[in-house]
Amino acid sequence: MRRDIFQAIADPTRRAILALIALQAMTPNAIADNFNTTRQSVSKHLRILTECELVKQQQQGREIYYSLEIEKMKEIDQWLNPFRKIWETRFDQLDQVLSTLKKQENEN
């Protein structure tokens, strides 16, 4: 089943997992050591992240290493960017309007 990437980042533990493996590929046990939850629950989070294609698995000997799918992370950013841009532009325009208003106030 393919999931929506936003489901993946909706959960604080999953966001923390992404932040961890952004730095280096890690085994599920090494990841679980960073959390006060059960291994089972970490596995479940990893499964969801895998289904969302936000992480990839690599077999090295007997261990599986999880790492971040950078391209997929960009997708989150791209979806939001136009919307963020709107507000940025809006606020830049408001900055200009406010500075004009301030000048007018000082003149009166």
Partner 1 sequence: MKTDLLFDFTVDKTAKTVNITREFDAELSLVWDAYTKPEILDQWWAPRPWTSKTKFMNFEVGGRRFYAMVSPEGQEHWSIQRYTSISPKTNFKMFNAFADKDENPELPGSDWDLNFSEYNGRTKVSITIYNESLERMEKMIEMGFKEGTAMNMKNLEELLASLSQRK
- Interface residue list for partner 1 (CB under 8 A): 4, 6-7, 9-10, 79-99, 101-102, 105
* Bridge partner list, 64: 59
- Three-state secondary-structure class, residue 60: strand
User: Of 16 and 33, which CB lies nearer to partner 1 in the complex structure?
Assistant: 16
User: Of 26 and 54, which CB lies nearer to partner 1 in the complex structure?
Assistant: 54
Tell me how far, at minimum, the Cβ of 67 lies from partner 1, in Å.
24
Tell me how far, at minimum, the Cβ of 81 lies from partner 1, in Å.
8
In the block, tokens 């604080």 appear at 12
User: Of 71 and 83, which CB lies nearer to partner 1 in the complex structure?
Assistant: 83
C-beta neighbour count of 63 within 10 angstroms: 13
Tell me how far, at minimum, the Cβ of 33 lies from partner 1, in Å.
27
* Burial readout 13-29 (b: 16 or more C-beta within 10 A, e: otherwise): ebeebbebbeeebbebe
Residue at 73: amino acid letter? M
Tell me how far, at minimum, the Cβ of 9 lies from partner 1, in Å.
8
CA–CA separation, 59 vs 61, rounded Å?
A: 6
User: Of 10 and 16, which CB lies nearer to partner 1 in the complex structure?
Assistant: 10
